[in-house]
Structure 1
Amino acid sequence: MDFEYSDKVKGLIEQVRAFMDEHVYPNEALFHEQVSADRWNTPPILEELKAKAKEQGLWNFFLPLAYGEYSGGLTNLEYAPLAEEMGKVGWGPEVFNCAAPDTGNMEVLAKYGNEEQKQQWLEPLLAGEIRSAFAMTEPDVASSDATNIETSIVRDGDDYVINGRKFYISGACRASCEIMIVMGKTDPENPNRYVQQSQILVPTKTPGVKIVRPMQVFGYDDAPEGHAEVVFDNVRVPAKNLILGEGRGFEIAQGRLGPGRIHHCMRSVGAAQRALEMMCKRANSRVVFGKPMIKNQSVREDIAKSACQIEQARLLCLKAAQKMDTAGNKDAKDLIAMIKIVAPNMALDVIDRAIQIYGAAGVSQDTFLAHMYAGQRTLRLADGPDQVHMMQLGRNLANTYE
């Protein structure tokens, strides 16, 4: 395995890092001020920074080479260090049009969408003109098993009619969210439970789509993106909005979640790295009991353990990304599961140590630590809870020794 970055990637890392230093970090406070003043519209500073990034060609890095004309021109391995840099700020990836859930939705449309769907929805998403949401999770069933989804998608002439309730639908609160990919059942009685589901494109302004409320995460509503509870009440959309065909929903979901999971993990490494850097600066500058905090053995141990954990997770993330590039997402599933288990838990450990070193400031709004901790804790559930990944990974590993 060779994880040495090419000159091209090294150059992109420096460009992204410089952009973050010059434009993103200095505007973190302004971003939150503007969000507080107008919760669900994209803050002006974000639109301004998106335009700057796009002008500099720092845009759509996430789509791998396999996506042809829509590709950002990078492999998963090449994208990893860029996602790490962006992940040091919660809203950083959106500046470069590399934010979930849009990234996963763009991958679905690029891989499975027809030409009309690509033109109508993929192209404005790639341009950063609109936002999107992926509506799968439901409050009344264990949605970590996608075959449990109960939302109905029923054919009626040239249309499909959708009924159901979803929640924690990230992005759906955003005023600029114009399209949702909705997963539901078109054939609930099929004995093969993996072909009961389909995915369909639903414009958010369609009659019957009701954004009920923003769900909170440890008290955060994560505006302007939000995580909505959404009710679909006799929502009627054209049959041409179906993606790939009836019964292909589970297949699409599996194709979407592999890259999505590792992208989250890349950003987790970045969040942890920033927490470590903050930890070191705080320990060097803060005086406690008459001496710099860094003189305390326990503080040094926290820094050392954090650095070890971050590097271990980073290398596992790179190995999974390389396997995806060389063998395909399916063959890399075990490594993807491993990093999805490891990265958020690692980030939580590191951020928790940083909070402890910062004391009361660590749980306040004056650092990114508390909000990022809540986000990383959510990732232990998002795209499948730890227990599901461990159950499947353990099964796969045991099968190799039968």
Structure 2
Amino acid sequence: MSVVQLSPRVQALYDALVAFVEDECIPAEAEYREALGTGAQRWAAVPPVMERLKARARALGLWNLFLPREHAEGGGLSNYEYAVLSEVMGRSLAIAPEACNCSAPDTGNMEVLAKFGTAAQKKQWLEPLLAGTIRSAFAMTEPGVASSDATNICARIERRDGGFVVSGRKWWISGAGHPRCAVFLVMGRSGPGAASGSSNNRHQQQSIVIVPADAPGVTVGRPLTVFGYDDAPHGHCEVAFDNVWVPAENMVLGEGRGFEVIQGRLGPGRIHHCMRALGVGERALELAVARVQQRTTFGRKIADHGVVLDYIAKSRMDLEAARMLVLRAADMIDRVGAKHALKEIAMAKVVVPAAVLAVIDRAIQLFGAAGVGPDTPLAELWAGVRTLRIADGPDEVHARQIAQLEIRHQNARRRQRQTQIQGQAAQPKL
């Protein structure tokens, strides 16, 4: 992509990141996958190449770029500036984000701790996360309820023995399978009205508590596959919390304030996901363009067929349009805050995964059988991006919010216009 409106410092970061991803991360992908091995071995250790690349990223200054500039621990970037860099990392989705310590769910968890954490919580958990010596997971989704409505979450966080006891079962907990996952941020029912389930305070019934991964009662179960991919060593696991006791100081922000915490976490995080997805789309299109110029069908290059040119044109337009939505949302977060950019964030979250999936699907079609096999990354990229239509809120939830905000906006405009007309009619005629 062409980069505009970047400061000299951010432009230098962009150039360094492009070189790092293209020359070091992408070429290391095969070595990384081979080192993972098979079976239980895939969850036992971090491939050595990742540690080498992390050291390299730190040396290049490409470390912890995600934290907005209001947090001293971060890279001093705006959301807009980081969005541009995040797309580059998305070109090597399995390696580059982690190598730069900018991968989910750690980024969101670090933002929570930086924004809401106490000094003690930051010392114990944020500092090692920022150093990249541990990893984390965010435990919200549950198998027994429709978790797209977070008020349904029913894991219990109850006061007991001077602390809190956490009980419940979670699944699709990304990062839980990583051998360095040391801490969970767990969402559960706690706070005013939690016991009765009173609808009068349905958004004050959930809390977020910090649970060490090695606490008694925490059991990481089977890793769940995504269209057959296990995403080791990161993984998306089932996790049981069986009467897990944690001290009272492990509560984040306060009882009943879970929604406040996750809204502060999810807004920028959704934009990060979208920009990384655009990087995936760019790589898929690049692979497709190279492919159609190398193969012939019916006596001419594949690239010479009209339908192929149409595919390439549509893919380029899809990516450009989606990128503008994301950059607009990131800019609005910077200018007015995530709370006032809800519609823009939601539109990007719906449009980008769909656009990128279309791009990858066209690339698969142009590769033919090779596109669905293990010799290209396309099938795995498609599987990963497809989850984004569900993760951090399904399309339908965001579309509902977009429509409600649009109706509210249109009604406000109409009322404002009517007030203006009434004011003009009331003025004396000269």
TM-score (norm 1): 0.98
Q: CA deviation at 1:393?
A: 0.9
Q: Deviations over 1:251-283 (max 9, x none)?
A: 101111101101000001110011111111111
Give yes or no for the alignment of 1:66 onto 2:70.
yes
Q: CA deviation at 1:7?
A: 2.2
One-letter amino acid matched to 1:177: C
Question: Structure 1: 5+ residue runs without aligned partners?
Answer: none
The corresponding residue for 1:300 is 309
User: Which of residues 369, 385, 389 is equivalent to 1:360?
Assistant: 369
8 Å CA contact 2:176–2:234 kept in 1: the answer is: yes
The corresponding residue for 1:21 is 22
The corresponding residue for 1:248 is 257
Q: The residue matched to 2:93 in structure 1 has which SS?
A: coil
Q: CA deviation at 1:16?
A: 0.4
Q: The residue matched to 1:160 in structure 2 has which SS?
A: strand
The corresponding residue for 1:284 is 293
Q: How many residues align?
A: 400
User: Which of residues 138, 143, 151 is equivalent to 1:139?
Assistant: 143
8 Å CA contact 1:341–1:389 kept in 2: the answer is: yes
Q: The residue matched to 1:183 in structure 2 has which SS?
A: strand
Q: The residue matched to 2:286 in structure 1 has which SS?
A: helix
Q: CA deviation at 1:127?
A: 0.6
Give yes or no for the alignment of 1:373 onto 2:410.
no
Give yes or no for the alignment of 1:129 onto 2:133.
yes
Equivalents in 2 of 1:290, 1:244: separation in Å? Answer: 67
Q: How does 1:191-270 map to 2 (within 5 A)?
A: 191-270=200-279
8 Å CA contact 1:107–1:256 kept in 2: the answer is: yes
Q: CA deviation at 1:56?
A: 1.6
Give yes or no for the alignment of 1:52 onto 2:35.
no
The corresponding residue for 2:92 is 89
User: Which of residues 153, 159, 179 is equivalent to 1:149?
Assistant: 153
Q: The residue matched to 2:182 in structure 1 has which SS?
A: strand
Q: CA deviation at 1:3?
A: 5.2
Question: Structure 2: 5+ residue runs without aligned partners?
Answer: 412-430
8 Å CA contact 1:3–1:318 kept in 2: the answer is: no
8 Å CA contact 2:177–2:237 kept in 1: the answer is: yes
8 Å CA contact 2:209–2:252 kept in 1: the answer is: yes
Give yes or no for the alignment of 1:120 onto 2:121.
no
One-letter amino acid matched to 1:106: M
Equivalents in 2 of 1:150, 1:215: separation in Å? Answer: 21
TM-score (norm 2): 0.91
Give yes or no for the alignment of 1:324 onto 2:333.
yes
8 Å CA contact 1:197–1:246 kept in 2: the answer is: yes
Q: Deviations over 1:21-64 (max 9, x none)?
A: 22111111111101125311211111110011112211011001
Structure 1 stretch 171-180 or stretch 87-96: which is displaced more?
87-96
Higher gyration radius (CA): 2
One-letter amino acid matched to 1:110: A
8 Å CA contact 1:139–1:165 kept in 2: the answer is: yes
8 Å CA contact 2:140–2:186 kept in 1: the answer is: yes
One-letter amino acid matched to 1:214: P
Identity percentage over the alignment?
A: 53
8 Å CA contact 2:16–2:60 kept in 1: the answer is: no
Structure 1 stretch 18-27 or stretch 35-44: which is displaced more?
35-44
8 Å CA contact 2:289–2:312 kept in 1: the answer is: yes
Q: Deviations over 1:287-340 (max 9, x none)?
A: 222211100000000000000010001111111110000111111111000000
Equivalents in 1 of 2:12, 2:290: separation in Å? Answer: 27
Structure 1 stretch 170-179 or stretch 359-368: which is displaced more?
359-368
Equivalents in 1 of 2:328, 2:305: separation in Å? Answer: 35
